[in-house]
Amino acid sequence: MHHSEQVNAGHRNRMRQKFILQGSRPFLAHEILEMLLFSAVPYKDTNPLAHRLMDRFGSLQSVLEAPVNDLLTVPGMGTHTAVFLHLVNETGLRALYRPARATPRRYGDYRSLGEYLISEKEAETSAPPVRALLFNNRYDLLASVSMEAPQVTAPSFSLKELARCALRHDATLLALVTSHEGRSAFPTPEEVDITKEIQVSLKMLGITLLEHYILSGSHYIGVSRKLVNGFEDNPDLCTFFRDAPDFPEEPV
């Protein structure tokens, strides 16, 4: 590798790490273009080409929308790179404006998440008694974490661990799952109280407790259904509970 190539490799790596850590905010439009060009132009410094493109077309949008033949008139542009820019734009617009068949979210509401938990439980032999499912705000399941406690009411249940875990995974939505094997799925008063506590504490950290599910056999009951008051202001919860049944009467 020539010295200049090494310098460029270091520069590319630094820009990528900055993007991974900070997102697009610290970057100007021409820097986004410079970074895109890394993929089409190996080794060379892509900054001058990014500037030439911006100067010629006036804006990032015009560069992305430019026909391949127009792009080719810019010094330093070959077909390989011109097609690449066209491809970047086409792929972006396709994902934005032609949403492929709406895929139903497996976990996006009370019933489907509850039913998913039951089906998962039936497939598994040894599920931990208490665990947390962590989601981002698109309801993608980020992780399923065992909470190392026999019950949420047990002294070994650690709210701190739960919160740390959620933040480490960048989760914004969370569901707790407790197993009541051998007894009713109906929550105990202590479970209701602690669920409320967890809900309030997580909310302060910007994490929404979607539901605390209690599973028993092939039944599930969500504790939060009993607590929700004022969730109308949280659109995530509104949608989550849209078709949920009312909290059941206490079994005699």
CA distance 53 to 226: 59
Q: How far apart are CA 227 and CA 235, in angstroms?
A: 17
Q: Is 170 in the site for another protein (CB under 8 A)?
A: yes
Q: By three-state DSSP, how is residue 87 classified?
A: helix
- Judged by CB under 8 A, which of 6, 59, 156, 218 binds another protein? 59
Spatial separation of the C-alpha atoms in residues 117 and 180, rounded to whole Å: 13
Q: Please report, as residue ranges, which positions from 72 to 91 form the binding site for another protein (by CB under 8 A).
A: 83-84, 86-91
Contact between residue 136 and residue 167 where contact means Cβ atoms under 8 Å apart: no
d(CA 107, CA 117): 9
Nearer to another protein, 120 or 236 (CB): 236
Smaller CB distance to another protein: residue 101 or 160?
A: 101
Choice from 155, 182, 189, 235 touching another protein (CB under 8 A):
235
Q: How far apart are CA 222 and CA 133, in angstroms?
A: 14
Q: Which is nearer to another protein, 19 or 186 (CB)?
A: 19
> How many Å apart are CA 126 and CA 146, to the nearest integer?
12
Q: State yes or no: residue 17 binds another protein (CB under 8 A).
A: yes
| Residue 6 engages another protein in binding (rule: CB under 8 A) | no
Residue type for 129, please?
P
Q: Establish if 200 lies at the interface with another protein (CB under 8 A).
A: no
Interface stretch with another protein, choices 34-42, 145-153, 185-193, 214-222 (CB under 8 A): 34-42
The yes or no reply on residue 62 touching another protein (CB under 8 A) is yes
Out of 47, 56, 60, 192, the residue judged to bind another protein by CB under 8 A: 60
* Residue 30 vs 219, nearer CB to another protein: 30
Nearer to another protein, 97 or 252 (CB): 97
The encoded tokens of residue 145 equal 């974490």
Q: Cβ(195)–Cβ(224) under 8 Å?
A: yes
Of 58 and 245, nearer to another protein (C-beta) is 58
Q: Which of 168, 187, 53, 184 is nearest to 176 (CA)?
A: 187
- DSSP letter for 40, please: T
207 sits near another protein (criterion: CB under 8 A): yes
3, 204, 233, 246: residue in contact with another protein (rule CB under 8 A): 233
What stretches of the chain adopt beta strand conformation (E)?
130-135, 141-146, 173-179, 208-216, 219-222
Q: State the residues that interact with another protein by CB under 8 A.
A: 12-13, 16-17, 19-20, 23-24, 27-29, 32-33, 35-36, 38-40, 58-62, 64, 68, 83-84, 86-97, 99-101, 103, 136-140, 142, 170, 172, 206-208, 232-236, 238-239
